[in-house]
Amino acid sequence: MELLKERILREATVINNDVLKLDALINHQVDPMLMQELGKEFARRFKEHSITKVITVESSGIPAAFTTALALGVPLVFARRKKTLIADPDALCERVPSFTKGIVTDIMVSRQFLTEEDSVLFIDDIIANGDAARGLIKIIERSGAKLAGVGILVEKSFQAGARTIREQGIKVESLVKISSLEDGKITFE
């Protein structure tokens, strides 16, 4: 999506060959007008899938997931990151490694917000190795809800996450694909 590519070129910083800093438009400051356009684009790409809920992981997935849910006219559920995992019979939990923080966190979704009647669209900001996505996909599967697909703002296609999820037969739509961050240069696919 050209709009997002232009903004990334103008406002993102390459930290190293693996990490792109997107604090100016996604991870720290958020441009609501941009997010609204991105949400409409996800809604357009998944409009045939009878989505009943949009789901994401807190916190940086929330703005794009919110505008997607608004465009589709459905609720947004965000998985919460828990610091301690006290057994909760009403929660679906998964432990996921964090790409940027180098720690593991537990994510949880209350069973009451995901049911067998739901057709769920998972939206996230960036995909790298796919650990966050795999954790949330497991939660969706255990809830009995149907995963309609995955929408990602920025896919780093030189890392394996999105590819391995597509290989499971899941529809993954990325608005922008970055094939390399080598030598401080952002290369789009």
- Residues annotated within the binding site for xanthine are 20, 27, 156
What tokens were used for 25? 């438009």
Q: Which of 46, 66, 78, 99 binds ligand 5GP (CB under 6 A)?
A: 99
| Contact status, residue 143 vs residue 92, Cβ threshold 8 Å | yes
Q: Which of 27, 36, 110, 180 binds ligand 5GP (CB under 6 A)?
A: 27
- Choose the stretch contacting ligand 5GP; rule: CB under 6 A; options: 16-24, 77-85, 108-116, 169-177: 16-24
Q: Is residue 20 close enough to count as binding ligand 5GP by CB under 6 A?
A: yes
Q: Is residue 94 close enough to count as binding ligand 5GP by CB under 6 A?
A: no
Cα–Cα separations (whole angstroms), residue 110 to 1, 78, 93: 34, 10, 9
What span, in angstroms and rounded, lies between the C-alpha atoms of 115 and 112?
A: 7
Q: Is residue 46 close enough to count as binding ligand 5GP by CB under 6 A?
A: no
The runs of H, that is alpha helices, within 73-183 are: 131-143, 161-167
| Contact status, residue 158 vs residue 146, Cβ threshold 8 Å | no
Restricting to residues 149-178, name those near ligand 5GP by CB under 6 A. Answer: 161
- Choose the stretch contacting ligand 5GP; rule: CB under 6 A; options: 29-37, 107-115, 129-137, 169-177: 129-137
Q: Is residue 180 close enough to count as binding ligand 5GP by CB under 6 A?
A: no
Q: Which residues bind ligand 5GP (CB under 6 A)?
A: 19-22, 27, 60, 99-100, 124-133, 161
